[in-house]
Structure 1
Amino acid sequence: MSHSSAPRMRKCRQKKEEEEEEPLGGDMEDLFNEKETQNIRTSLLDWYDENQRDLPWRKKTRSGTEKERRAYEVWVSEIMLQQTRVQTVMEYYKRWMHKWPTIYDLAQASLEEVNEMWAGLGYYRRARFLLEGAKMVVAGKEGFPNKASSLTKVKGIGEYTAGAIASIAFNEAVPVVDGNVIRVLARLKAISANPKDRLTVKNFWKLAAQLVDPSRPGDFNQSLMELGATLCSVSKPSCSSCPISSQCRAYSLFQENRSIPVTEYPTKVVKAKPKVDFCCVCVLEIQIQEKNQSGGRFVLVKRPEEGLLAGLWEFPSVILDKEASLAARRKAINLYLKEAFHLEPEETCTVVSRKELGEFVHIFTHIRRKIYVELLVVQLTEGGTIDLFKDEAEDTLTWKCVDSDVLSTMGLTSAVRKVYSMVEAHKQDLSVSSNRTAISRKRRIT
């Protein structure tokens, strides 16, 4: 490095340090004073003791190993609750805990078992990280981490989840900041800064850290989240019932000027438009008629271990970057089947039927996907059957064939289940139509 660049580098470092240490700034210039802090703690905890919802993951923590079990329960519940409604999570949580009551039980599970248990909750990476984190903790020699700073070193545990586990299970006086907490704090202080901005988020953590009650940190953090989830809601806050409305600056401003509702806080951030793509799904049903065997089986393909819906099972599909005609979609599917399974309709197999079932739109986090669905029923030649159904080791299996009764009980994503529902509806229509035809023929004969 040249000498001439050294002063400039020092200045950059100094500027960064000043940025990191700057006060709350803007409309976040002041922390709560001591009286405000104490009043908020007392009011919230009293309200929480009387009004907390009866949720399966809420219980009193005892000592010793019971704390580790409690930490595991909090961890599972918090991961499930990310971007998912409480009512939806409750049954999933109960089933999960029945199957894997301790972290040691979970650490013995396979990713496929976990994905099947998680099916329908969405954001499947959360489930994978939960499993990997459990294996990491069990493999360690120091037991379950009991400090927020050490919890963040576990795979899949961020600052918020670490704070929740540490405060609720281990009684550490650390804050938590999620969407509910940000909404409560933004209204208490009438903060109009962008809630997604890095420095703004950092300042929300400062406010939450100041408020957390040192004697009951877990209960206080839950009371703050509970308030945001119930009374201090996004669009219809119940300010008249709120235990801390007398200290809420947004509510005070609303009383002075009715044109500024409490819902103005926090500032609404315009979401980026999701990427749009198109997907043609081919439900491939194999009819087996060799060596006195008969019946139909469906082909499922396992997704890559990284990326969207990692490691999950789905029907054969092809992603397109634009709208395509039926002929173009079938051409893309035919190419995929040939490359993946050496399967060529009319060449290596007999097409029994091929029917376009319809389309629907499925929304992922950042993707709006239009899905076209078709059912392709084929009968394989003997050689084709041998090639397609060759034995493979379980750990290297990237596709499999399953019977319809197995498929209907598998843990599949909501999009895959919707596709299969279209197949079932089509088969039901065929059955009804066939019965009507048979009855009509019988009547003509008689």
Structure 2
Amino acid sequence: MSGGEKNENHEDVKKKPTKGEKRRGRSPSKREPIVDIEDIMFSIDKVQTMRSSLLDWYDLSHRDLPWRRLDKGQPETRGYGVWVSEIMLQQTRVQTVVEYYKRWMHRWPTVQHLSRASLEEVNEMWAGLGYYRRARFLLEGAKLIVKEGGEFPKTVPDLRKIPGIGEYTAGAIASIAFDEVVPVVDGNVIRVIARLKAISGNPKDSKLVKQVWKAAAQLVDPSRPGDFNQALMELGATLCTPTSPSCSTCPVFDHCEALSISKDDSSVLVTDYPAKGIKTKQRHDYSAVCVVEMLENRGTSELKQCSRFLLVKRPDEGLLAGLWEFPSVLLNGEADSSTRRESINSLLSKSFGLEPKKNFEIVIREDVGDFVHVFSHIRLKIYVEHLVLRLKGEGSKLFRKQEKKSISWKCVDNKVMSSMGLTSSVRKVYDMVEKFEAEMISPSRAVATKKQRATSTNLSCRSC
């Protein structure tokens, strides 16, 4: 495993260490750890006392979360609610998920309701949570369940057939909603068990993870499997945290080998277990975004009287699939303003038939600024440009002809733009443009502009 196995053929090895010595050696931060991951099972006596201690603690101390208030007497509804919560909680903090979860369940209270939604509606509801593929999997899963009769799957094998449901999520739903006696293992559980057994290996090592699943299966309480699994995860999330564990208030501290070792050796810390994983290096990308705003009025004094923004739909596969954004192009590294504008001009011409001077008049074209948006594996620097234009002569007709092309786009007015569910990066781009426009006019005019935006849909605006 990546933590490093002891090479018994090395000339410095004089004897084979015992299993206890392997775990209770010096701090894993001070030498390459030696871990016997075959020996992480618990004794029968420890299993019984740990179950009791964890459940008693959970009953008194668990966080009051909306998905934990679901009626146990309605397993179908509970199964759907737990499913939604588990998908939302992937890669997202609990505090962030709570309000999203409430809004989602209010709009789509059952799997049947969700199955009738569109991907665009789901993406708008999801906007801001990130990792949008999760939302698409929820919708696809709901449609599949309804197509096959509408009964929510209750066992791990059946749940695994649903798009986006892996081993962990299937175990969580099956145990919490349907009392199936199965384990769940997430990052919190791996950390807790690694500390209980003083395992200093890489928490992402497949062999270690497989053994943790076996240990978790041994621990799970057969009478309250869902509560026990939540207790184990809750312990990792609230007390047995990565950097600041609260060992003094832990309900199973007296069973923790990492704590016992740290008490005997001050050079060893509980946080040495498990080993720190190596983070994947982020890729650095660069993008030019153009907020294209088309005017309908003939004067420049009332720019916001009637205008629309051009939005483009991303491909149905890949990063941020199926979501709406402003026209953008990827750049080959850092680029100056003229290079970015050339790239944007090429995009507008090829995709929309829009060409400066030829079929539209530039009213405003300014660089608004830039910012860095971080994805899990990409650090994207975004340059923002604001282009206000007025179509000339046959330009409007030419623009409408582009509907036959493969690229999907639409034009929305100010009110729609402000209320749309947009990704956090697209929303930031729009906010930057709004701030830029506000700074172009006097403070007294800024208030009037906002009022015009609120009533813009009542004006006579032609579609693109």
Q: TM-score, normalised by structure 2?
A: 0.85
- State yes or no: 1:164 paired with 2:210: no
Q: Does 1:285 align with 2:285?
A: no
The residue correspondences of 1:352-371 to structure 2 (distance < 5 A) are 352-371=363-382
What is residue 422 of structure 1 aligned with on the other side? Answer: 432
| Secondary structure in structure 1 of the residue aligned to 2:286 | strand
Matching residue's letter, 1:50 = L
C-alpha distance in 1, partners of 2:139/2:257?
43
Quote the residue 1:234 is aligned against. 242
Give the aligned partner of residue 318 of structure 2.
307
2:267 corresponds to: 259
The one-letter code sitting in structure 1 at the alignment partner of 2:324 is W
In the TM superposition, 1:399-410 aligns within 5 A as 399-410=409-420
* Aligned match of 2:45: 35
Shift of 1:297: 0.6
Rounded to whole Å, the distance in 1 between the matches of 2:208 and 2:350 is: 51
**Conservation of the 8 A alpha-carbon contact between 2:40 and 2:211:** no
1:296 is matched with 307
Following superposition, the deviation at residue 197 of structure 1 comes to 1.3
- 1:227-266 deviation digits (Å, cap 9, x = unpaired): 1110111111100000000000111111111221111112
Deviations 1:290-345 (A, max 9, x none): 8xx96211000000000000000000000113111111110000000000100011
In the alignment, what sits opposite 2:68?
Answer: 58
* Secondary structure of 2:182's aligned partner: coil
Any idea what the Cα deviations from partners look like across 1:130-187, whole Å, max 9, x if unmatched?
1101111111137211101110111111110000000001100000011111111111
Question: Is 1:184 aligned to residue 192 of structure 2?
Answer: yes
Deviation at 1:59, TM superposition (A): 2.7
Number of aligned residue pairs: 407
Q: Residue 354 of structure 1: SS of its match in structure 2?
A: strand
With over 3 angstroms needed to count, the CA separation of the structure-2 counterparts of 1:280 and 1:44, relative to structure 1, is same
Percentage of matched positions with identical amino acids? 59
**Counterpart in the other structure of 2:421:** 411
Identify if the C-alpha distance between structure 1 residues 142 and 422 changes in structure 2 by more than 3 Å, giving closer, same or farther. closer
1:383 shift after superposition? 1.2
Partners of 1:61 and 1:169 within 8 A in 2: no
How far does the alpha carbon of each residue in 1:28-60 deviate from its partner, in whole angstroms, 9 at most, with x for none?
Answer: 423101011111101000000011111000036
Q: Does 1:326 align with 2:334?
A: no
Q: Residue 213 of structure 2 aligns with which residue?
A: 205
Shift of 1:389: 3.6
Matched, 1:381 2:381: no
Change (3 A) 1:148 1:425: same
SS of residue in 1 equivalent to 2:251 = coil
- Whether 2:147 is the aligned partner of 1:136: answer no
Shift in alpha-carbon separation, 1:392–1:319, aligned structure 2, 3 A = closer
Does the CA contact (< 8 Å) of 2:351 and 2:402 recur in 1? no
Aligned counterpart, 1:72: 80
Deviation at 1:390, TM superposition (A): 5.4
The 1-side partners of 2:358 and 2:189 are apart by: 61
Contact persistence 1:275–1:368 (CA under 8 A) = yes
CA distance in 2, matches of 1:254, 1:412: 48
Instruction: State the SS of the aligned residue for 1:221.
Output: helix
Question: Structure 1 residues 121, 435: closer, same or farther in 2, change over 3 A?
Answer: closer
Query: Runs of 4+ in structure 1 displaced over 6 angstroms?
Result: none
Aligned counterpart, 1:398: 408
The equivalent of 2:442 in structure 1 is: 432
Report the 3-state secondary structure (helix = DSSP H, G, I; strand = E; otherwise coil) of the residue aligned with 2:67: coil
Alpha-carbon distance in structure 2 between the residues aligned to 1:142 and 1:319 = 43
Which residue is equivalent to 1:150? 158
* Structure 1 residues 269 and 37, CA gap change in structure 2 (3 angstroms): same
Which stretch of the first structure deviates more once superposed, 299-308 or 180-189? 180-189
Say which SS state the counterpart of residue 68 (structure 2) adopts: coil
CA contact (8 A) 2:352 2:402 kept: no
Q: Give the alignment's Cα RMSD to 1 decimal.
A: 1.9
Structure having the larger proportion of residues in helix: 1
Q: Which residue of the partner structure matches residue 349 of structure 2?
A: 338
**Contact 1:28 / 1:189 at 8 angstroms: preserved in 2?**
no
Aligned pairs for 1:106-145 (under 5 A) are 106-141=114-149, 143-145=151-153
Task: Give the Å deviation of 1:61.
Answer: 4.5
Residue 246 of structure 1: aligned partner: 254
